[in-house]
Amino acid sequence: MPPSKTRIRRRTLRQILGGVRRRARRAASAVRRTWRRSLQLQVITSTLVISVTVVAVLGVFLVQEINTSVLNGRKLSAANEATADRVAIAAALDAEPIEPPKQGEGGPAVAEGPLDAAVNSIIGTGENGWRKRYQLLVLNPTEPGQSRATGSVLPTDVPEDLRNRLLLKRDKGVLNDPLQGVYRLKFAPSAEPQLTLVVGAFIDDGYEIYHFFPLTDEESLLSIVRQVVVVVGIGLVLLLGAIASLVTRQVVTPVRLARQAAERLASGRLDERLKVRGEDDLARLATSFNEMAANLALKIHQLEELSQVQRQFVSDVSHELRTPLTTVRMAADLLYDAREDFEPMAARSAELMQAQLERFESMLADLLEISRYDAGAATLDLDSTDVRDVVLRAVADSEALAERHGTRFELRLPSEPCMVEIDSRRVERILRNLLFNAIEHGEGREIVVTVGADRDSAAVAVRDHGVGLKPGEEQMVFDRFWRADPSRARTIGGTGLGLAISREDAMLHGGWLQAWGSPGEGSQFRLTLPRTAGAELKGSPLSLVPPEVEMRRTWRGHITPVLSPVVGEGVFHAE
Amino acid sequence: MRSRRILASVMAASVMCGGSACSVISVGGPPEQVTPADAADSLSKPFQRMVATPPQKEWDAVRTVKGLQASMASFDDVEQKILREYLTPEAKRAWKPDGSVLVVEDNPTYQPVGDDIVQLEATQIAVIHDDGWYEPKREKLTLQFMVAKTPDGYRVARLRNGLMLLTAADVRRAYEPADIYFLGGSGSLDDPGALPVVDHVWLPINPTRSLAETIVDRLLEGPSESLEGAVSTAFEGISLDRITPGEESVVVYLEGRFKQDPPPAEALMKQLQWSLREVTKGRSIEVRLNGDTFYDSTPLVIGPKDNDGWPRPPESKVYFVQNGQLMWLGAKGAGLAVPGPVGQLGEEYKEPAIAPGPLAKGDPTEYVAALKSDGRSIWTNRLSPESQWQEAIKGTDLTPPSWNWNGTLWTVDRIDDHTSYVLRHDSANHEQPVTRVAAPELNGKRVTAFKVARDGTRVAAVVSDGGALSVMVGVIAGDRLDHFQTLLTTGETEEIKDLAWSDSEHLIALVGSSSGSTPTEIDISNGQLRQLAADKRITSISALNERLVAGTDGEDGGKVLELVQDKWVDTKVQAGTQSPTFPLD
C-alpha cells in the first residue's frame, strides 16, 4: 500500500526539521569550536558584553536624569503660568464690571463680560494675539453661560481622577490649591492622543480652571535624546569592540604566528623560526622560541646521528655475523646430519643447535630487513596480482603450523578476482605474519580470513578467537620485540619483528595495517591496500571490528552502532 | 616619575576642557539671524468659546432659559446635544435649527410670566444668515419660552422652530468677520477691469480649521445672498484641501476641476489674495491644484503686492460749478476752469457727474454727465474742449446722474410720488436706447437720490415711503436691482439731503434736521452708523476714500468745505460754488 500524502508530507517536514536541527547543531559546534580556539574572539566578546552592560546602565541613568530635568522644568513653568492665569481670572470675576460697552470692530457693540475679558487677556485675542502653547478651560457647572474654553479642549477632556481629587479638596473647603498630572489625551475624535500636562484648580463661586499644556515638544525632545543615546551607545560599543579587536590583534597575531611556527616545528620542520621585531615581551618570546627551536634541532640532529650510528651498527653487526654464522651453520649441518652416530646427548645437542641456528638466521634476516627500512632502502616490486592467490599461498604456508596447533582456517574470499598493484612477496609476508600471529594467539580456535574489495581498495582481515588484546595494546603490537605476556615463551619461533616489518610493508604500499582486539573476544588484523599503487586510501571495504561483535553489541544496546565502535575498544590504525 | 607627569598632563587637559572651550553653552561667535519659533503659524487668531453647560436640577426657570441661550452660543456643540438636553422630549422632536441666527444686544432681560413662561426682552440688532451674511436689522424682540417642571429640573417645553439666539458677545466669540472678494459683473472673469466686490460675512469659528482655511472655504462656496447674481467667482468646481503656512509663503491646496478651461488664473489670484490679505500678512501665496503645481511645470505664486493696483482708484480731484462754469480744485483753493463747451454749464445744466476714462476700450477721455435744469433730461459730454453736449436720458423728474465704472449712466425717473423707474444708459454706445432696470423692491416708493458705488455692483438709494426717508442699499444683479436692505431711516423732522459713496463699503448720507446737517457714515457690512462732524451750512457732499467734501449754500453764494481731522475746513475756493464732486461719485 502506497504511503498517504499526509504521511509523505509529515515525513518531509520531519526531515526538513531534522536537517535544520543538524545544520544548527553543526553551526553551534562550529561557533563553539571557533570560540574555544580564538583568543581574540573571546577578548572581543568579553569587551562587548562588559561595554554593552556599562553603556546600557549609563544610558538608562542619563535618559532618566534628562527626562526628570526637562519634565520638572516644564511642570514648574506650567504651574507658574496656570497660577498667574488663575489669579487673573479670580481677580476679574471679583471685580465689578466698569467698562463701558465698546464698539466692536465692524461688529455688534459688545459689553465684554469680566470672564470674557480675563480669558481674552490671557489668550491675547486680537490682531497681535500671540498663540498660547496651552489650552484653557474654565468651567462653572452651577451657572449658565459661565464656562469658557480655548483651542479645541472640551469638558470631557478633563481627566476624571484629577477632577475627583479636586472635588474631594473642595468638599474639605480647600480652594485655590492646584493639582497636576500628565495624561495622554485625545482632543478630537480623529486626532492622535497627545501627551498633556493638566493643571486644575477650583476657585470661588464654583469655577473650575484647567490648563492643558502639551508635552509633545518635550516628548519629541526626549525621544530624540533617547535615540541619540542609543545610537551613541551602539557606536561606543562598536568602537570599543573595534579597539579590543585591534589591541588583541596586536597581541594575538604574534602568538598565532608562534603557534603556527611551533606546529611546523612539531611536524619536523626544524628550521622554522620566528621574526623578531622590537624589544617587547612578544619579541622576547620569539627570541626564546627561536633559541628553543635551535637547541631542539641540535639535540634532534645529535639523536638522529646517534640513531643512525646505532642502525648502522645493527646493520653492520648483522652483516658481519652472517659470515661466521654461515660457517657455523655448515659445521652445525654436518653435526646435525651425523647426529645419529652420536650419543643421544650429543645428538640432542646437535638438534638444539640446529634449531637455534635457524632462529638466529631468521632473526638476522629480520634485522637486516628492518635495517633496510630504517635506511630507506626498501623498494617495491609492483605487479598486478589477485589478492586471493596471495592469501591462498600464505594460508598454504601456514597450514603446517596450524595443524600443529589444531587450528582450522575459514576463508571468505570473493568469487571474482581481486586485482591489486602490490609487491606480492611483501604482502604474502604480511599475511604470513598475521596468520602465524593468529595461530600463536588463537588458542587452537578457528581463524577466519576474509578478503573484501571495492572500487578503490582491497582488504584482508585475519580474525582469531584467542585471548584478544587489552585496551592500548593495539598500538603496541606493531612495536619491535613487543610481547603481550613477557613471561610467555615464543612457541613458533617468532623473532618479535614480524608485525613491525608487516607494518613497514603496509606503509610502503600506501596502505593501512590496523588491529582490533578485546579481551576474551579475540582479535582481528586488517590490511587495507589501494588498488592502484600510490593512490590515497579513503576507506576500507572491511570493517575493523568484526561484524558479529558489532551486531552483538547493537543488540545489547550498549553503544550506538556504526559511529563509535573503536574508541577504547583496542583498535589501532597503522599506516 | 613618568606616571606622575602623565597624571599632571591629564588633569591639566581636563581643567582646560571643563573650564573654557567645552562649556555647556558656548559664548561669543557672530550674531545670528533671529527666527521666531511660530513665525509661520499665524493663519489663525486665538479665540475663546462658550462651553455649553447641561441643565442643572436646582436651576429655576429663568436660569434654565439662560442656560438654553448660552448653549446656543457653544459652537463646539455642532449637533446641539447639550442644547437639546434643555428641551422636553416633545420640544426636542419639534425643534430644528434653520441655520440663521438672531443677534440681540447683550444682557437681555428674562422675566417669568406666570409659572410656565419665561419672557425674554431684547433689542435685535441683526440676523446672521447661514451663508454668513450679516444683515443689520434693529428692532425690539420679545420671545416667550414655555417651561415645564420635570423630575430633573426645569425644561423648555416649546421653542420657536429654528430659533438660534445669540448675544453680541456670543457673536464676537463664535464668529469671525471676514471680507471675501468676488468680481463685479457676472461673467466677466477675463475682464482685466473687473472690480473687486467685497462680501462681508461672519464666519462661525471652526476649531479644527485655521481662519485662512475657513475664509477660503467660504470663498469657494460663492457669494452670500446679499450679492447673489451680482458677482462672479473664479472658483466654480473647486474645493479646498488645506492651507499650510510657511515663513515666506502660504501654500493653498485646491482640489477639483475649474469650470473654465484654461482656469481663470488672473481672477483667482485677485480673489485669493484680497480675501486672504488680512491673514497672510505680506507673505506670498502659492496655489497648488490637486496636490500638484497649478500649471503643468510652473507653480502659481501670488506675490504680496501683485494686486495692489486692483482696482485703479479714480483721480482724487474735486470738481465743482462756479457761476455756471465747471471747474476743478487746484492747489491752495485755486479754481481751474474746464475749457470748451463742456465747461460751460451755465444755467442750463446742473449737478454734474464726472467719470474717468476710458469708458470703452480705446477711449481715453473723461465724461461729464449733467442734469438739465428742468430735471427732465440728462446730457453727457466728453471732457475735451471741442466736444458738444448730447442728450442721454430723457424723463419726467430725474435724479442727478450717477456713473458706473463700466461707462453706464444711471438715474431714477420719478413719475409720481409712488412710481420711480431706474434708468441706465450706455455712454459708450449712444445708439443703444435707455434701459429701464427692474427694481422690485423700490416699487411704490419715491426715490430722492440714487448713487452707484465705485465697485460697480452696489447701489444706494434714498427712498420715501410716504413718511420717513430711508437709505437702502442693493446690488446690480444683471438686468435688475436686487437684495435691497434698509440701513438708515430718518425721523419725522429729518431729511436726507445727499448721498455719497466713500468706498465700496461705506456710504455717507447727509441727514438734515432743524439743528443742521449731519453727515452720517453707514458701514454697509454691518449697518453701523457713525455720525461725522455736523455743519449747518452743508447742502451737498461728495466722498472718495478718506476725503469728504461738502458744498454749502449760504449768503455768500456757496463754498467748498473739506473734512480734515473731524472738522470742516474751507478750501478757500471763491464764493459762489455749487455741487462739489469727486469722479465716479
> Does the pLDDT at position A26 exceed 90?
yes
Q: Are strands B284-289 and B249-256 parallel, antiparallel or unpaired?
A: parallel
> Does the pLDDT at position B513 exceed 50?
yes
pLDDT averaged over every residue in chain A: 84
Q: What is the CA radius of gyration of chain B?
A: 31
> Does the pLDDT at position A496 exceed 70?
yes
Alpha carbon distance A329, B549 (integer Å): 168
Q: Which residues contact residue A417 at a Cβ distance below 8 angstroms, ignoring those fewer than 6 apart?
A: A386, A388
Q: Average pLDDT in the A145-149 region?
A: 89
Alpha carbon distance B184, B199 (integer Å): 11
Q: Average pLDDT in the B507-531 region?
A: 88
The backbone torsions φ and ψ at residue B133, rounded to the nearest 5 degrees and listed phi first, read -70, 120
Q: How far A148 CA sits from the closest chain B CA (Å)?
A: 5
pLDDT at B34: 61
The backbone torsions φ and ψ at residue B100, rounded to the nearest 5 degrees and listed phi first, read -95, 155
ipTM score assigned to the predicted complex? 0.71
C-alpha cell at B10: 591629564
Q: Are strands B419-426 and B435-437 parallel, antiparallel or unpaired?
A: antiparallel
Q: Are strands B101-104 and B165-167 parallel, antiparallel or unpaired?
A: parallel
Q: How many CB atoms lie within 10 A of CB B253?
A: 18
Q: How many CB atoms lie within 10 A of CB B580?
A: 27
> Does the pLDDT at position A1 exceed 50?
no
> Does the pLDDT at position A2 exceed 60?
no
B18 versus B224: the higher-pLDDT residue is B224
Bridge partners of B570?
B561
Helix (H) or strand (E) holding B382: strand B377-382
Alpha carbon distance A210, A166 (integer Å): 11
Based on the number of CB atoms within 10 Å of its own CB, is A334 exposed (0-12), middle (13-18) or buried (19 or more)? Answer: exposed
Long-range contacts of A212-220 (CB under 8 A, 24+ apart): A212/A134, A212/A135, A212/A136, A212/A137, A212/A151, A212/A153, A212/A157, A212/A185, A213/A74, A213/A78, A213/A81, A213/A133, A213/A134, A214/A133, A214/A134, A215/A71, A215/A74, A215/A182, A218/A70, A218/A71, A218/A74, A219/A195
The amino acid at residue B506 is H
pLDDT, one tens digit per residue, over A389-436 is 999 999 998 998 899 889 999 999 999 899 999 998 899 999 999 998
> Binning pLDDT at 50, 70 and 90, where does residue B16 land?
low
Q: Do B169 and A111 touch (CB under 8 A)?
A: yes
A396 versus A557: the higher-pLDDT residue is A396
B397 versus B315: the higher-pLDDT residue is B397
pLDDT, one tens digit per residue, over B163-195 is 889 998 888 888 888 999 998 865 556 666 678
Q: Average pLDDT in the A72-94 region?
A: 90
> Does the pLDDT at position B422 exceed 90?
yes
Q: Which residues contact residue B41 at a Cβ distance below 8 angstroms, ignoring those fewer than 6 apart?
A: A131, B245
H-only helix segments in A38-159: 39-94, 114-123
> Which chain A residues in 233-272 lie under 8 Å from chain B, judged by CB atoms?
none
pLDDT at A228: 94
pLDDT at A568: 37
pLDDT, one tens digit per residue, over A330-345 is 888 988 898 888 888 8
B521 contact A CB<8A: no
Residue to mutate among A130, A143, A212, A221, with most B CBs inside 10 A, is A143
Contact list, B54 vs chain A (CB under 8 Å): 141
Q: Average pLDDT in the A552-563 region?
A: 60
Strand ranges, E, within B57-171: 101-104, 109-112, 117-128, 134-150, 153-158, 165-167
Alpha carbon distance B273, B179 (integer Å): 11
Q: What is the chain A residue with the closest CA to B209?
A: A152
CA distances A331 to A28, A339, A345, Å, are 75, 12, 18
Q: Could you give the 3-state DSSP secondary structure of residue A94?
A: helix
| Contact present, B157 and B68 (Cβ < 8 Å) | no
Q: How far A232 CA sits from the closest chain B CA (Å)?
A: 19
Q: Do B105 and A155 touch (CB under 8 A)?
A: no
> Which chain A residues in 125-154 lie under 8 Å from chain B, judged by CB atoms?
125-127, 129-132, 136-152, 154
> Does the pLDDT at position B333 exceed 80?
no
> Which chain B residues in 144-173 lie under 8 Å from chain A, judged by CB atoms?
168-169, 171-173
pLDDT at A201: 92
pTM: 0.64
Cis peptide before A193 (omega within 30 of 0): no
Bridge partners of B154?
B149
> Binning pLDDT at 50, 70 and 90, where does residue A486 land?
low
Minimum-distance CB partner of A104 among B64, B73, B172: B172
Distance of CA B253 to the CA centre of its chain: 27
> Does the pLDDT at position B490 exceed 90?
no
Alpha carbon distance B146, A227 (integer Å): 64
Alpha carbon distance A378, A369 (integer Å): 8
| Contact present, A398 and A436 (Cβ < 8 Å) | yes
Alpha carbon distance A312, A368 (integer Å): 10
Q: Do B126 and A108 touch (CB under 8 A)?
A: yes
Alpha carbon distance B253, B243 (integer Å): 6
Q: What is the chain B residue with the closest CA to A108?
A: B168
Q: How far B534 CA sits from the closest chain A CA (Å)?
A: 21
pLDDT, one tens digit per residue, over A258-276 is 888 888 888 888 888 888 8
> Binning pLDDT at 50, 70 and 90, where does residue B449 land?
very high
Of A108, A104, A106, the residue nearest B138 (C-alpha): A108
Q: How far B106 CA sits from the closest chain A CA (Å)?
A: 7
Bridge partners of B403?
B409
Minimum-distance CB partner of A106 among B46, B207, B525: B525
Q: Is A444 left (phi over 0), alpha (psi -120 to 50) or beta?
A: left
B511 versus B554: the higher-pLDDT residue is B511
Q: What is the chain A residue with the closest CA to B42?
A: A131
CB pairs under 8 A between A and B: 118
Alpha carbon distance B570, A75 (integer Å): 66
CA distances B542 to A207, B354, B538, Å, are 55, 12, 11
pLDDT at B98: 76
> Does the pLDDT at position B10 exceed 70?
no
> Does the pLDDT at position A280 exceed 70?
yes
Residue to mutate among B57, B172, B180, B202, with most A CBs inside 10 A, is B172
Q: How far A138 CA sits from the closest chain B CA (Å)?
A: 8
% of chain B exceeding 90 in pLDDT = 25
Contact list, B106 vs chain A (CB under 8 Å): 101, 110-111
CA distances A211 to A173, A500, B458, Å, are 22, 102, 48
% of chain B exceeding 70 in pLDDT = 89
| Contact present, A258 and A289 (Cβ < 8 Å) | yes
C-alpha cell at B143: 420671545
pLDDT at B357: 63
pLDDT, one tens digit per residue, over A157-209 is 999 999 999 999 989 888 888 999 999 988 877 778 889 999 999 998 889 99
| Contact present, A362 and A493 (Cβ < 8 Å) | yes
Cis peptide before B262 (omega within 30 of 0): yes
Cis peptide before B311 (omega within 30 of 0): yes
pLDDT averaged over every residue in chain B: 84
The amino acid at residue B573 is V
